[in-house]
Amino acid sequence: MNLIDGKKISEIIQLELADEVKQFVAKGNRAPHLAAVLVGNDGGSVTYVNAKVKACERIGFKSTLVHLDEKITEAELLATVSKLNDDSSIDGFIVQLPLPKHINEQKIIEAVDPKKDVDGFHPSNVGRMALNLPCYLPATPYGIIQLLERNKIETSGKHCVVIGRSHIVGSPMSILLARNAYPGNCTVTLVHSRTPDISKFTRDADIIVVAIGKPHFLKAEMVKEGVVVIDVGTTRVDAPETKNGWRLLGDVKFDEVAPKCSWITPVPGGVGPMTITGLLQNTLLAAKKSIY
Amino acid sequence: MNLIDGKKISEIIQLELADEVKQFVAKGNRAPHLAAVLVGNDGGSVTYVNAKVKACERIGFKSTLVHLDEKITEAELLATVSKLNDDSSIDGFIVQLPLPKHINEQKIIEAVDPKKDVDGFHPSNVGRMALNLPCYLPATPYGIIQLLERNKIETSGKHCVVIGRSHIVGSPMSILLARNAYPGNCTVTLVHSRTPDISKFTRDADIIVVAIGKPHFLKAEMVKEGVVVIDVGTTRVDAPETKNGWRLLGDVKFDEVAPKCSWITPVPGGVGPMTITGLLQNTLLAAKKSIY
């Protein structure tokens, strides 16, 4: 069994990014600039946004945090988005989700200029992904693709089962792994809540991507020997014995599944760390105008 | 075995459309107006475009054929597209593919205003489809969805195997049938040229959509009893005994597969007739501003 060390790969990519930024700036360009819009004070969102801002600083990006009151109206938020779209000193920006309930999330997502949509959530970027055109890939799928690539894991002709059809992980993963590319060229089966017998499919899989948000869902008897397992689950559970008072559980019963795997991602330290890295990579692409 | 009669369903939908158009116009609106851009004189393209124009007339749409010389430059074609985008008397338009080789097809597709993109080829419409948002569905997948719907074929929880990953049929079908909708909620497996053993998947399938362009590819031993088979293949082969000198072959060896099926589309008269109908439906949606 080989561990897919997302923490280490993420660190390596971020070092490479820092180097690229240095060269980019040395050529007379200003540093890439990411803005993050945070509405309200949801604990998880504040943590995520701070981590993103910190990562920017670490690798030499400029970052701007736009922190708005929870009571902001949809029209005011749209005006902020429009300002960021027009601000030529900003290469890319994200609006941290979820938003307060009185704001239509989809409307905000579609208001972001696709050229600055480094989260890859705008329909135009999603469509470009499906059509195998240059685009910003959503951060988590982008991270998973790179975990496979950096570990030189064979994907062509393999049967990949993706568990969960969310718009931010499962559905894009199923599209990306079926593309005529590397990583890709998999036979892809997308299973979900309406699949009567998920085990029937996972037992046949060479590669499994689990993104269903149910801790310890994937068990040893559901996989075959030699499988590659990518665990996207990150459910917080109380853990009074830890410093934070909680810990992360993946969607895979790691202890019993890992011995059967050729490759497996741990939780934490697998897919998670790659997400911010994907966002940083998209921002550099935006600064370099590589996509649009 | 039940035949999925695409010709008849297509006729019924077109009668319904004609009725809707009458009501729409009676309310004081002008008739829906589809424009078709044809570049050059490719035999197949001329036939398709003429059939589309004729169908428009039949159901009370206005149609305009913009026939351009094969030697037109990309810039000139882009100017035509831009004019059609701005022409408020036109609700939707298509640029018939393929285009001559000196023109970048993707560039033309992306120049079409998504609001008038009744072919559903623009990345923005493709992305909206993947995100389950209102959009123009590409005509062939739209037609297949309606064949399932009009015959009340159960799809939820079924294993659907889509053969072929083209951007206009296979890939969108795999996305549509996995969505949380009816028809949809299938466990979807997308198989293609890099799948080592396609039979292994088709033998397990409750529903098979074949869009691989290989005449008689799907044979009896590749399917199980009771399967639903949708044949998207339309390969022209010489047939001196026919009036046209050719006939259409599907991707399914119909004579031997049909007896095992609960439902099957014939070729011709299955998926084919639904394609123009899907385009007409999209044009009416555009005229009514139902999507955008």
Q: What is the pLDDT of residues B266-277, one digit of tens each?
A: 999 999 999 999
With a cut of 90, say whether residue A244 has pLDDT above it. Answer: no
Is A192 near chain B, with CB under 8 Å? Answer: yes
**What is the reported pLDDT for A43?**
86
Which backbone phi and psi does A107 adopt, to 5 degrees? -65, -40
With a cut of 90, say whether residue B44 has pLDDT above it. Answer: no
Over residues A19-45, the pLDDT tens digits come to: 999 999 999 999 999 999 999 999 889
Active-site residue (options: A14, A96, A146, A281): A96
Report how far residue B59's alpha carbon sits from residue A171's, in angstroms, rounded to the nearest whole number: 38
For residue B222, list its beta bridge partners.
none
Catalogue the E-assigned strands of chain B: 2-3, 33-39, 62-68, 92-95, 159-163, 187-191, 207-210, 227-231, 235-238, 246-249, 261-264
Q: What is the mean pLDDT of residues A104-117?
A: 98
Over residues B253-268, the pLDDT tens digits come to: 999 999 999 999 999 9
Q: Is A42 one of the catalytic residues?
A: no
Q: Which two tokens stand for residue B204?
A: 């397990």
CATH topology of domain B7-114: Rossmann fold (3.40.50)
CATH topology of domain A26-113: Rossmann fold (3.40.50)
Q: What is the mean pLDDT of residues B283-291?
A: 97
With a cut of 90, say whether residue B244 has pLDDT above it. Answer: no
Task: State the number of CA atoms in the 13 A half-sphere of A40 facing the CB.
Answer: 16
Q: Which residues of B touch A186 (CB under 8 A)?
A: 194
B131: CB partners within 8 A, 6+ apart:
A123, A126, A167
DSSP assignment letter at A151: T
Strand, helix or coil for residue A175: helix
Over residues B188-213, the pLDDT tens digits come to: 999 999 999 999 999 999 999 999 99
With a cut of 90, say whether residue A115 has pLDDT above it. Answer: yes
**CA angle (A144, A145, A148) in 5-degree steps:** 90
- Asked if A157's CB is within 8 angstroms of B194's CB, the reply is yes
Report how far residue B166's alpha carbon sits from residue B146's, in angstroms, rounded to the nearest whole number: 20
Task: For residue B100, say if its preceding peptide bond is cis, omega within 30 degrees of 0.
Answer: no
Q: Put the strands of the sheet holding B33-39 in their side by side order.
A: B62-68, B33-39, B92-95
Percent share of chain B, pLDDT over 90: 97
CATH of B139-274, one of 3.30.450.20, 3.40.50.720, 1.10.3720.10, 3.10.129.10: 3.40.50.720
Among A143-152, A161-170, A241-250, where is mean pLDDT lowest?
A241-250
**What is the reported pLDDT for A205?**
98
Active-site residue (options: B119, B206, B231, B251): B119
Q: Is B255 one of the catalytic residues?
A: no
**Is-above-0.90 flag for pTM?**
yes
Q: What is the mean pLDDT of chain A?
A: 97
Q: What is the mean pLDDT of residues B19-40?
A: 98
Band (A235; pLDDT cuts 50, 70, 90) = very high
Is A73 near chain B, with CB under 8 Å? Answer: no
> How high is the ipTM of this complex?
0.96
- Chain A contacts in chain B segment 144-183 (CB below 8 A): 156-157, 165, 167, 171-172, 174-175, 178-180
Check: CB of residue B197 under 8 Å from CB of residue B173: no
For residue A20, list its beta bridge partners.
none
Could you tell me the residue ranges of all domains in chain B?
7-114, 139-274
Over residues A174-204, the pLDDT tens digits come to: 999 999 999 999 999 999 999 999 999 999 9
Check: CB of residue B289 under 8 Å from CB of residue B283: no
